[in-house]
Amino acid sequence: MGESNPLDRFGRFLIFLFLLPQAWPGASWAHCRRYFFKCLGSEPELARHALSLIKALFKIERALATAPRKKRESVRQAKSKPIVDAFFLWCDQQAALALDGTPLARALGYARNQRTALRRFLGDGRLPLENNISERNLRREVIGRKNWLFLGSEEGARANTLFVSLLASCQLHRIEPWAYLRDLLCLLPSWPRRRVLELAPAFWQETVKQEDTQQRLATNVFRRVSLGMHANEV
């Protein structure tokens, strides 16, 4: 198929959209916290110390829930970074003392192994402290995977995975999925590559309000047909 084929453009869009977050992989502090919860029975004092530091991070994040990206980054550097530094200094000290195979050793090992990823939220206000939303959305994959063994081919399974991820993003951003996919496929053939991220669900509501976007949609024949309009209607 040619370069302008909408399905070709859609494939590149999906690859860009879903590989982009991998450039800044962040770990979940909620997951880290669960490891230390498991230590409360065997090492309550040490576990409570780790949990108190993690709790302080979440308290800061709650206050930043509606803050813009730059504000979030500024506050994280001023308030969260010292806590994170203290947490990992403590982890390094305790790792030399913890007995191998204990819940504490596993918790410390997880935190230290994930150090870079756990710290990444400090420099990027777009990254959350935890990924509980992603984990909840993955449950539908777990529930449906036995049915999806029969998608017909490996390519069919891959397409299903991409669309499920895209629809989950629509749900997260409260976007009606059918209208989004319809307009996305109409826009992609002529959409500038440098602006492809504007078509992601996270930015869609702002993009679709733009005059340029509205004009592209209004003159798209396929969209007019899907809306039950005649191609020559004004």
Give the number of domains in the chain. 2
Q: Check whether residue 36 and residue 93 sit in a common domain.
A: yes
Identify the domain boundary among 99, 130, 161: 130
Whether residues 17 and 33 fall in one domain:
no
Considering the domain boundaries, does residue 75 fall inside one? yes
pLDDT, one tens digit per residue, over 121-155 is 999 888 888 876 666 666 666 677 676 666 677 77
State whether 109 and 163 are in the same domain.
Answer: no
Number of alpha carbons in the 13 Å side-chain half-sphere of residue 188: 21
Rounded-to-integer distance, Cα 141 and Cα 157, Å: 11
pLDDT in tens, 37-91: 999 999 999 999 999 999 999 999 999 988 999 999 999 999 999 999 999 999 9
User: Is there a domain that residue 234 lies in?
Assistant: no
Shared domain check, 171 and 86: no
- Residues 181, 122, single domain; the answer is no
Range of the domain at 125: 27-130
DSSP string, 172-206: HTT--HHHHHHHHHHHGGGS-GGGGGGGSHHHHHH
Give the residue from 130, 165, 185 where a domain finishes. Answer: 130
20, pLDDT greater than 60: no
Query: Which tens digits make up the pLDDT trace of 171-226?
Result: 888 899 999 999 998 998 889 888 888 998 989 999 999 999 999 999 888 888 88
Measured N-to-C along each axis, helices 6-19 and 177-187 cross at an angle, to the nearest 10 degrees, of 120
User: What's the predicted TM-score (pTM) here?
Assistant: 0.60
Is a pLDDT exceeding 50 seen at residue 101?
yes
* Residue 124 and residue 32 share a domain: yes
